Amino acid sequence: MLQITPQMTLFLSINFADFRKGIDGLIALCKQQLHQDPFSGALFIFANKDRTSIKLLAYDGNGFWLCQKRFSNGKLKWWPTAKAGEATYHIDATKLAILISQGNPDNVLLGASWRRLKSQPKNS
pLDDT at residue 121 in the model: 66
Q: What is the pLDDT of residues 90-99, one digit of tens each?
A: 888 889 999 9
CA 104 – CA 111 distance, rounded (Å) = 16
pLDDT classification of 84: cutoffs 50, 70, 90: confident
Which amino acid appears at position 67 of this protein? C
Q: What is the pLDDT of residues 31-79, one digit of tens each?
A: 999 999 999 999 999 999 999 999 999 999 999 999 999 999 889 989 9
CA 44 – CA 27 distance, rounded (Å) = 9
Angle at 84 between CA 108 and CA 13, to 5 degrees: 55
Which amino acid appears at position 119 of this protein? S
Q: Tell me the CA distances in angstroms from 10 to 18, 45, 79, 99, one per residue in order.
A: 20, 7, 15, 13
Q: What does the domain layout of the chain look like in residue ranges? A: 10-71+85-107
Pair 110, 95: CB distance under 8 Å: yes
Average pLDDT over residues 92-116: 80
Helix (H, G, I), strand (E, B) or coil at 114: coil
Pair 92, 10: CB distance under 8 Å: yes
More confident residue, 52 or 112: 52
Q: What is the pLDDT of residues 10-33, one digit of tens each?
A: 999 999 999 999 999 999 999 999
Q: Is the pLDDT of residue 124 over 60?
A: no
pTM assigned to the model: 0.84
